[in-house]
Structure 1
């Protein structure tokens, strides 16, 4: 059985920061000052600990905390773009990742900011309108974005000298500490005008090429297609897709390390893809959201049993299959067992005298 009291404490610490951190941020230095964190909706439910934990694990982080992450990402990006201009480098910004989709599970979440070269773009040829391509800068695109990366490292290290600026990651420059309220990851990149984008001229179809420092190459990415498709399906099912994604991520976060290390073979991106394919299983009323646990359990059980179907599933932007390695199938089994344990543990709270699991108890629970 799951210790839901312990999980509720970890959930609150993730969503709002530890009590000690909040006290320090508010200027209280005595640990007898009480807990100044707000009580969220899931905490106020007159329900068992398991139900409260499950509802909380599905819920979006407080909008004010999310806005702080967004503001910090924009502040660092705007400062960098302004500094790059002094080197004659034009750049723009876009946010990607979990914060952009509101599927992050931590109040103090990292924020991913693309810093995109504006002066030169990659175009998939032949251009659909038949026109020619011309760029004043004749260097290979990888060298142009490498220059953007090198200049960004120099500017950020100089500007944020009190923060920890880590330039060792191949895809991003990370900043934390100092005046920053959140960790910010800066991802140097360039636009890629694919044929899909040339057809639609919608930003959701535009490609991005991220610079990989170690290998000195560009890696393709479609972050806005991912954001658009997940957002659209979530709206179609009244917010239930994002609830399941957050649930998966919280369950992984609460695993003991020996499980978590293996479960993380399925990334946050992969977990979003798995939940994305639940489709009609996401169609439950908002006042019966506990049913999503059983729906997820059923779907993961199906995926775990049918490898041929599992191996056809693609991430929402269609760039690759989700289960592209044996370790991901092993991770799926671990996460399935975790969801199953959650379903059975909540059921025992609701029906303590029952010895046989009845899925309808969870499916019909009104909250």
Structure 2
């Protein structure tokens, strides 16, 4: 069934733009998403399917991302007020905003609140001054103190304390959803040797199970950045495209954003190096997804996420998600080839400005 790319383009632009900020930039309140769409269409020589493809690969405008970080700073400024000699912490970010693969102007952002009372060391590292406290109890104190203060500090917002790993803040005066994640540092042997930040991990508290879960968000982001540099930015363009296709699909594609990043990560770097031949890039993505879907389940299920913390296809529904995502790519490729009037030969040489 042919997709309605005009409708999808409108959805994409609604998702990637903030009308209030557009109004402020253009200096009058009469500016709307409809007038923005018309402005873009008049400025473009291409049609809706072509615009959809180009804009789906593009990063969210920096002005919106800056506003996301600004809202996170507001939350951090409030949390600073509960710092004491016995309860101190620092902040880091994780998630798609931090690695520039987000596809929404109003993207959620994760703020890691990292306690300074103790650091967990990877074996065989030995602490110079052994910690004698209880890590779970100290993180629970951080969690409950943060919950109480944030409820008071943001009385008009929805402060959701029901999450096992994060306190979610949204609404009221906040223009973005901010998740506050109590955690502690995990220093690896490689971090101890090199002091390079990306080798540091974190332990995140699960307040219900009263246990800690190891994450490596900085190493994950480092691996994505290396892949993106080696592909002249085409890796993250493809990630954004795949996320956009999932968001706009009529089907429920059972793949998380993390899964989609991991799937894209495993496409050969050489297949990304197409310069501005983005139709050829799309053809390579389709071929890769088709090969991935066609391989034996044993081989496919053995593929790790970038930081090797788990397998990508660790749930049965993800294979169906892969098939649906492949079908979305195939339909987009066919529509673009038709739109540009390309032959199989000319696909390899079609340049597109992004």
Given that 1:294 and 1:363 are in contact with CA atoms closer than 8 Å, whether structure 2 keeps it comes out as no
Query: Quick one: distance in 2 between partners of 1:11 and 1:335?
Result: 17
Specify whether residues 41 and 67 from structure 1 end up closer, same or farther in structure 2 by C-alpha distance, changes over 3 A only. farther
Given that 2:120 and 2:187 are in contact with CA atoms closer than 8 Å, whether structure 1 keeps it comes out as yes
- 315, 340, 353: which is aligned to 2:330? 340
**SS of 1:69 mapped into structure 2:** helix
Query: Quick one: distance in 2 between partners of 1:229 and 1:33?
Result: 39
Query: Quick one: distance in 1 between partners of 2:76 and 2:41?
Result: 34
Query: Quick one: distance in 2 between partners of 1:20 and 1:71?
Result: 16
Structure 2 equivalent of residue 14 of structure 1: 15
Specify whether residues 114 and 48 from structure 1 end up closer, same or farther in structure 2 by C-alpha distance, changes over 3 A only. same
TM-score (normalizing by structure 1):
0.87
Query: Quick one: distance in 1 between partners of 2:38 and 2:304?
Result: 38
Given that 2:121 and 2:127 are in contact with CA atoms closer than 8 Å, whether structure 1 keeps it comes out as no
- 257, 273, 279: which is aligned to 1:268? 257
TM-score (normalizing by structure 2):
0.91
Does 2:50 align with 1:51?
yes
Query: Quick one: distance in 2 between partners of 1:123 and 1:161?
Result: 39
How far apart are 1:194 and its partner, in Å?
A: 2.1
Structure 1 equivalent of residue 231 of structure 2: 237
Query: Quick one: distance in 2 between partners of 1:289 and 1:44?
Result: 21
**CA deviation vs aligned residue, 1:300-351 (integer Å, no higher than 9, x gap):** 0000000344223211112112111211111111111111111112122223
Structure 2 equivalent of residue 184 of structure 1: 178
The count of residues paired between Structure 1 and Structure 2 equals 349
Structure 1 equivalent of residue 87 of structure 2: 89
How far apart are 1:196 and its partner, in Å?
A: 2.6
Query: Quick one: distance in 2 between partners of 1:198 and 1:218?
Result: 21
Query: Quick one: distance in 2 between partners of 1:148 and 1:85?
Result: 10
How far apart are 1:84 and its partner, in Å?
A: 2.3
Does 2:70 align with 1:75?
no
How far apart are 1:268 and its partner, in Å?
A: 0.7
Given that 1:124 and 1:194 are in contact with CA atoms closer than 8 Å, whether structure 2 keeps it comes out as yes
- Note the aligned Cα RMSD (angstroms): 2.6
Unaligned runs of 5+ residues in structure 2 are: none
Specify whether residues 33 and 329 from structure 1 end up closer, same or farther in structure 2 by C-alpha distance, changes over 3 A only. closer
Structure 2 equivalent of residue 222 of structure 1: 216
Query: Quick one: distance in 2 between partners of 1:292 and 1:360?
Result: 14
**SS of 1:290 mapped into structure 2:** helix
How far apart are 1:83 and its partner, in Å?
A: 1.9
**CA deviation vs aligned residue, 1:255-279 (integer Å, no higher than 9, x gap):** 12xx22xx1x321111111111112
Unaligned runs of 5+ residues in structure 1 are: none
Query: Quick one: distance in 2 between partners of 1:296 and 1:43?
Result: 30
Question: Which residues of 2 match residues 1-367 of structure 1 at below 5 A?
Answer: 1-17=2-18, 35=34, 37=36, 44-80=43-79, 82-86=80-84, 88-127=86-125, 132-135=128-131, 137-139=132-134, 141-256=135-250, 259-260=251-252, 263=253, 265-278=254-267, 279-285=269-275, 287-307=276-296, 308-351=298-341, 359-367=344-352
How far apart are 1:229 and its partner, in Å?
A: 0.7
How far apart are 1:235 and its partner, in Å?
A: 1.0
Given that 2:10 and 2:37 are in contact with CA atoms closer than 8 Å, whether structure 1 keeps it comes out as no
How far apart are 1:40 and its partner, in Å?
A: 8.7
Query: Quick one: distance in 1 between partners of 2:271 and 2:294?
Result: 18
Query: Quick one: distance in 1 between partners of 2:89 and 2:70?
Result: 19
Specify whether residues 33 and 4 from structure 1 end up closer, same or farther in structure 2 by C-alpha distance, changes over 3 A only. closer
Given that 1:241 and 1:282 are in contact with CA atoms closer than 8 Å, whether structure 2 keeps it comes out as yes
Specify whether residues 230 and 42 from structure 1 end up closer, same or farther in structure 2 by C-alpha distance, changes over 3 A only. farther
